[in-house]
């Protein structure tokens, strides 16, 4: 579209009476010498760049093909995926890692829907992300006249995200992008939908007017200082504890207040439990980590300080037998202090005695100040009892890990991964599956914050390759290791091509036990169809990556697995290791068997 065309296009829109004069004047200038203009494509790109967005994950097609091309031309890294869901997961975890909203860019209706699962996932996990989708012509969509890829995307996105916006005029792009960024990162972070109709992109306006309409968002995630009385109340409750415990959640990891969190834990001497993605916030080998005594400390603790962790299903809702309650829903008697940015989180499951509302950085530093330097360490009998449990369990685990069964089981394979991560503490560890997830979480120690990226709040399968791409792209060039159940891997496996295309240092280890949970189920009718839970036996997953020029390794022993991983890390080449695991080694639903209705019936 040339300058004259775009002037005509903008002139079609009726101008409010007061603006008539200005618009005529602009047109006149354009008639004489084509004015400098900027179109919707470039306004979107400049708005993103102005706010420090340097990477976009997406998949091209009408109406955003040219946007992907122009983003690349403008120096934004455009990572093009094979399925929007994986681009969306990449954006969501990039948001977690960087505190900047991860951007996922898709086409309309089907592409938008493919990205939507990831948007909902981001919202559920409190990760900042913006899903930007092109959309069809509003007038046609609203009359349901059957436009190309017709769908009322804004309405569909709304219940699944924190906020949703649509921009109809080029002049509003700056505001639209600014609002999306603020909504994604301020307060409790989450997913935001930004709807950009096809007609917006070629709209051209005066370049100076356009550029001036863009907003460089000032202080997008303002600090939220906790009230002094809330901090004092928290200190009083903590002071009264005989058996205190701290639980760190992924909100604590997200907040990047690592030094203060460590200082709080070390200065109070309180034992702590990291939730899955908070592993490594302090090294898992830290003296005060109570991970190896989890089932002892939860019911025994009398005061629990939650930092960026919700009392949802992952913590048995803060009650019931896990917490020493007399029945499955009974309160175990603990008193809770909860640090969270959301004022509505407290009391969602049990009574919170001391809610501290604010950002974790400000709250933890206020607590540190309030406790001073003479805090009395927890009673020795509490620490001693934990140490005793811990030592026993660690010794038991060491014994199990030392075994070398044939075929490998989860333990003997993960013993290798454990060593490799210890030797490469800066590597990212992506992890999904059921047994492949639970065993990795408990066996593989993490040493640095925000290195463990996993299935999160939903226990969602399919994040593996999207997360791996994002970690390699925005993670400062560090190695990525993805430990994947064979089922879990299948959800995003085609992104092997993406990993090879961008030549990313990703080493995928598939824990191949021939199926979902196990590979030894049979069809009880004796019919020809296999059980719904099993896959092709001895599937050669390593050959998939060879199709795209990557390195495939078939590993039947811990030695073969170790060699494969070491070589992957040395060469930084995309590598897939097919680790053959005893098909009878896993248990149904991994560690969450109790949530399986079939198991419930049996109880």
> Which residues in this chain contact Mg ion in the complex, by CB under 5 A?
485-487, 513
The structure tokens listed for 483 are 């430990």
Residue nearest to ligand TZD (CB): 485
- Beta strands 204-206 and 37-39, pairing class: antiparallel
Least distance in angstroms from the C-beta of 217 to ligand ADP:
17
* Nearest distance in Å: CB 442, Mg ion: 17
- Residue from the set 147, 150, 353, 359 that interacts with ligand ADP by CB under 6 A: 359
The Cα 432–Cα 425 span in angstroms is 19
Instruction: Name the segment binding ligand TZD (CB under 6 A); options: 192-200, 214-222, 509-517, 521-529.
Output: 509-517
Gap between the Cα atoms of 549 and 567, Å rounded:
16
The binder of ligand TZD chosen from 383, 507, 516, 576 (CB under 6 A): 516
Q: Which is nearer to Mg ion, 202 or 407 (CB)?
A: 407
- The two tokens of residue 48 are 């993103």
Is residue 153 close enough to count as binding ligand TZD by CB under 6 A?
Answer: no
256 near 284, Cβ under 8 Å?
A: no
The runs of H, that is alpha helices, within 224-273 are: 228-239, 250-254, 258-268
Ranked by CB distance to ligand ADP, the top (closest) residue is 251
Q: Are 591 and 410 in contact (CB under 8 A)?
A: no
The correct pick among 23, 117, 322, 342 for binding ligand ADP (CB under 6 A) is: 342
Of the candidate residues 80, 312, 393, 478, the single one contacting ligand ADP (CB under 6 A): 312
Q: Which does 342 bind (CB under 5 to 8 A by kind): ligand ADP, ligand TZD, Mg ion, none?
A: ligand ADP
Show the binding pattern over residues 278-297: x = contacts ligand ADP (CB under 6 A), - = does not: x-------------------
Tell me how far CA of residue 514 lies from CA of 69, 519, 536, 539, in angstroms: 41, 4, 7, 8
Q: Read off the tokens for 208.
A: 């100076």
Q: At its nearest, how many Å lie between ligand ADP and the CB of residue 280?
A: 12
Nearest in space to 441 (alpha carbons), one of 575, 259, 250: 250
Q: Which stretch binds ligand TZD (CB under 6 A): 240-248, 295-303, 420-428, 460-468?
A: 460-468
Distance between CA atoms of 57 and 93, rounded to whole angstroms? 11
The residue from 202, 283, 324, 459 that contacts ligand TZD (CB under 6 A) is: 459
Q: Which does 459 bind (CB under 5 to 8 A by kind): ligand ADP, Mg ion, ligand TZD, none?
A: ligand TZD
Neighbours of 533 (CB within 10 A): 16
- For Cα atoms 131, 144, 114, give the angle at the middle one, nearest 5 degrees: 25
Residue 512, strand partner residues:
580
DSSP single-letter state for residue 510:
E
Could you give the C-alpha distances from 126 to 53, 118, 308, 416, in angstroms and in order? 19, 12, 10, 32
- Pick out residues in 484-503 that bind ligand TZD (CB under 6 A): 485-488
Q: How far apart are CA 352 and CA 346, in angstroms?
A: 6
414 lies in the site for ligand TZD, by CB under 6 A? no
* Residue with token string 């907040």: 255
Q: Which is nearer to Mg ion, 293 or 534 (CB)?
A: 534
Task: Tell which one of 56, 94, 354, 460 touches ligand TZD (CB under 6 A).
Answer: 460
The distance of closest approach from Cβ of residue 516 to ligand ADP in the complex, given in angstroms and rounded to an integer, is 23
Residues forming contacts to ligand ADP in the complex (CB under 6 A) are: 125-126, 188-189, 249-251, 254-255, 275, 277-278, 308-310, 312, 314, 340-342, 345, 359-360, 457
Residues forming contacts to ligand TZD in the complex (CB under 6 A) are: 433-436, 459-462, 485-488, 511, 513, 516-517, 586, 590
């Amino acid at each position: 579209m040339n300058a004259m065309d775009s002037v005509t296009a903008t002139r079609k829109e009726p101008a409010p009476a007061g603006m008539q004069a200005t618009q005529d004047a602009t047109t006149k200038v354009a008639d004489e010498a084509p004015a400098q203009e900027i179109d919707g494509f470039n306004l979107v790109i400049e708005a993103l760049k102005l706010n420090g967005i340097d990477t976009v994950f997406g998949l091209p097609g009408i109406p955003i093909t040219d946007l992907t091309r122009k983003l690349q031309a403008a120096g934004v890294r455009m990572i093009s995926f094979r399925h929007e869901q994986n681009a969306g997961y990449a954006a969501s975890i990039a948001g977690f890692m960087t505190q900047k909203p991860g951007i996922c860019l898709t086409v309309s209706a089907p592409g938008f829907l493919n990205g939507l699962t990831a948007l909902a996932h981001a919202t559920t996990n409190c990760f900042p992300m913006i899903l930007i989708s092109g959309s069809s012509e509003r007038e046609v969509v609203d009359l349901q006249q059957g436009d190309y890829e017709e769908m009322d995307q804004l309405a569909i996105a709304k219940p699944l995200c924190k906020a949703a916006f649509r921009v109809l005029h080029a002049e509003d792009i700056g505001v639209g992008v600014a609002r999306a960024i603020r909504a994604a990162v301020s307060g409790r972070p989450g997913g935001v939908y930004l709807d950009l109709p096809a007609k917006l992109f070629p709209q051209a306006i005066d370049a100076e007017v356009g550029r001036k309409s863009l907003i460089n968002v000032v202080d997008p995630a303002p600090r939220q200082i906790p009230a002094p009385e809330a901090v004092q109340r928290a200190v009083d409750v903590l002071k009264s504890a005989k058996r205190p415990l701290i639980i760190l959640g992924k909100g604590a990891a997200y907040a990047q207040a690592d030094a203060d969190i460590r200082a709080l834990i070390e200065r109070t001497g309180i034992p702590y439990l990291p939730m899955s993605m908070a592993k490594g916030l302090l090294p898992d080998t830290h003296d005060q980590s109570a991970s190896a005594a989890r089932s002892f400390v939860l019911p025994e603790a009398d005061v629990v300080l939650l930092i960026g962790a919700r009392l949802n299903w992952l913590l048995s809702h803060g009650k019931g037998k896990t917490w020493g309650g007399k029945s499955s829903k009974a309160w175990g008697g603990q008193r809770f202090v909860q640090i969270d940015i959301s004022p509505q989180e407290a009391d969602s499951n049990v009574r919170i005695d001391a809610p501290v509302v604010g950002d974790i950085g400000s709250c933890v530093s206020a607590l540190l100040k309030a406790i001073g330097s003479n805090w009395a360490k927890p009673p020795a009998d509490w620490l001693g009892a934990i140490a005793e449990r811990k030592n026993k369990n660690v010794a038991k685990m060491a014994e199990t890990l030392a075994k070398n069964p044939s075929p490998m089981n989860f333990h003997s394979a993960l013993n290798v991964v454990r060593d490799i991560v210890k030797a490469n503490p800066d590597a990212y560890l992506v992890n999904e599956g059921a047994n492949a997830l639970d065993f990795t979480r408990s066996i593989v120690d993490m040493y640095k914050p925000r290195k463990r990226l996993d299935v999160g709040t939903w226990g969602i399968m399919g994040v593996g390759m999207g997360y791996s791409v994002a970690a390699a792209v925005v993670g400062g060039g560090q190695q990525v290791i993805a430990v994947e159940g064979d089922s879990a891997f299948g959800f995003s496996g085609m992104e092997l091509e993406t990993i090879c295309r961008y030549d990313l240092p990703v080493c995928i280890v598939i824990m191949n036990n021939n199926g979902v949970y196990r590979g030894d189920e049979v069809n009880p009718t004796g019919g020809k169809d296999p059980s719904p839970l099993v896959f092709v036996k001895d599937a050669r997953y390593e050959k998939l990556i060879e199709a795209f020029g990557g390195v495939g390794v078939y590993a039947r022993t811990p030695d073969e697995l170790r060699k494969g991983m070491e070589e992957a890390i040395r060469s930084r080449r995309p590598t897939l290791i097919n680790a053959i695991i005893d098909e009878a080694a896993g248990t149904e639903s991994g560690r969450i068997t109790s949530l399986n209705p079939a198991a419930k019936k049996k109880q």
